[in-house]
């Protein structure tokens, strides 16, 4: 890893700091303790990390834990600053339900919602299929089908978020209409495996398009990552991701699991062109307290991480505003 001196760093844009939490991790103990633990954890992290990804343990037989999107909805009113990127195993969920649940998170959090589009692999795939049953409209267990279905699901979810124009609710006493039906749109998505008509039942969320994140690792299919706004990549794979056609404009989140070499890894992430840093936390309260009192302030003092920003999550990540794809000219 090249050594970067302080002078070099001063010209570089500091990273957005986030954390990764696994909702199904064993650390959380039995369910009766979850409420207090999650509450304390987010009281500690709110305002320190700019965002948290909450991994979902869907059908994981070693511990599935709570539904991550619902947990995020529960956390949103009690943690007023942190961005909440909730994970969903898209291949085994109904895109319609995922789209309304994330849109609702965006309403509850007033613009801090994101979706982590999860592509299960290996044993997790067979566990998920066993838990829902092998059903028509859901993908087969092979990589190609799962990759295709995942990008299809993201496309549908994004279309559903746009299916109401921002000014669809008119409450017009003159015409006695609550809605302007011309501002609602069928998404009419059709693929080989499923069809979704729309529009959503939930009006367009505050951010228009909540942020969509996905993982990418060298040697895997890139379609899901290229359909996302934020791509979570291990530091050593960032250069390979950047070289992919279509990677331009994606914000890279450098994934760091090992906090021992944190500073070196953060420097390498900055140099490789990452925009954010995501540090995996175990869910231990002691570790979270150390993160808030020690790790995050030192990263900021070293100029590697920027001060916490507030406001809509898209804006914090510097993502462009998204015009509604269905909007009719005014």
Binding piece for another protein, criterion CB under 8 A, among 190-198, 211-219, 230-238, 258-266: 190-198
Q: Please state, in angstroms and rounded to a whole number, the distance separating the CA atoms of residues 130 and 291.
A: 38
CB closer to another protein out of 53 and 222 = 53
Among 3, 10, 136, 243, indicate the residue that binds another protein (CB under 8 A): 136
Q: Least distance to another protein from the beta carbon of 159, Å?
A: 12
For residue 254, the cross-strand partners are 233, 277
CB closer to another protein out of 153 and 274 = 153
Residue 145, interface with another protein (CB under 8 A)? no
Residue 155, interface with another protein (CB under 8 A)? no
CB closer to another protein out of 16 and 313 = 313
CB closer to another protein out of 97 and 325 = 97
Q: Is residue 128 a contact partner of residue 140, using CB atoms and an 8 Å limit? A: no
Residue 169, interface with another protein (CB under 8 A)? yes
Binding piece for another protein, criterion CB under 8 A, among 201-209, 227-235, 296-304, 317-325: 201-209
Q: Least distance to another protein from the beta carbon of 176, Å?
A: 4
Residues 41-60 that bind another protein (CB under 8 A): 57-59
Q: Per-residue x/- mask for another protein, residues 202 to 221, rule CB under 8 A?
A: xx------------------
Structure tokens at 207: 């951010």
CB closer to another protein out of 17 and 128 = 128
Residue 5, interface with another protein (CB under 8 A)? no
Residue 174, interface with another protein (CB under 8 A)? no
β-strands 169-172, 177-179: how paired? antiparallel
Residues 59-98 that bind another protein (CB under 8 A): 59, 61, 63-67, 69-71, 73-78, 92-97
Q: Tokens 């529960």 appear where?
A: 74
Residue 255, interface with another protein (CB under 8 A)? no
Among 16, 21, 54, 101, indicate the residue that binds another protein (CB under 8 A): 101
Q: Which residues bind another protein (CB under 8 A)?
A: 24, 31-32, 34-35, 57-59, 61, 63-67, 69-71, 73-78, 92-97, 100-101, 103-105, 107-108, 110, 127, 130-138, 164, 168-169, 171, 173, 175-181, 184, 193-199, 201-203
């Amino acid at each position: 890893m090249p050594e970067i001196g302080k002078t070099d760093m001063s010209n570089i844009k500091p990273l957005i700091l986030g954390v990764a939490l696994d909702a199904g991790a064993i650390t959380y103990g039995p369910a009766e303790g979850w409420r207090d633990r999650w509450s304390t954890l987010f009281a500690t992290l709110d305002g320190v990390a700019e965002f948290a990804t909450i991994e979902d343990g869907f059908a994981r037989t070693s511990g599935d834990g709570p539904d991550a999107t619902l947990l995020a909805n529960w956390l949103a009113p009690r943690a007023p600053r942190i961005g909440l990127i909730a994970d969903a195993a898209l291949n085994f969920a109904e895109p319609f339900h995922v789209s309304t649940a994330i849109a609702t998170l965006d309403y509850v959090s007033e613009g801090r919602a994101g979706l982590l589009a999860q592509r299960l692999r290996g044993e997790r795939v067979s566990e998920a299929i066993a838990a829902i049953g092998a059903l028509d409209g859901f993908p087969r267990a092979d990589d190609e089908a799962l990759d295709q279905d995942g990008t299809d699901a993201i496309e549908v979810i994004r279309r559903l978020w746009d299916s109401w124009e921002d000014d669809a609710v008119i409450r017009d006493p003159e015409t006695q209409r609550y809605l302007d039906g011309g501002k609602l749109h069928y998404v009419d998505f059709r693929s080989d495996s499923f069809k979704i008509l729309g529009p959503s039942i939930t009006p367009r969320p505050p951010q228009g398009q909540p942020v969509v994140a996905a993982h990418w690792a060298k040697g895997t299919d890139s379609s899901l990552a290229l359909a996302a706004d934020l791509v979570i990549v291990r530091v050593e794979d960032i250069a390979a991701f950047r070289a992919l056609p279509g990677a331009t404009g994606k914000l890279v989140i450098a994934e760091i699991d090992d906090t021992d070499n944190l500073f070196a890894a953060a420097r390498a992430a900055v140099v490789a062109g990452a925009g954010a840093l995501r540090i995996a936390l175990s869910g231990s309260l002691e570790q979270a307290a150390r993160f808030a009192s020690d790790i995050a302030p030192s990263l900021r003092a070293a100029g590697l991480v920027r001060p916490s920003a507030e406001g809509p999550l898209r804006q914090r990540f510097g993502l462009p505003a998204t015009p509604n794809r269905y909007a009719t000219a005014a």
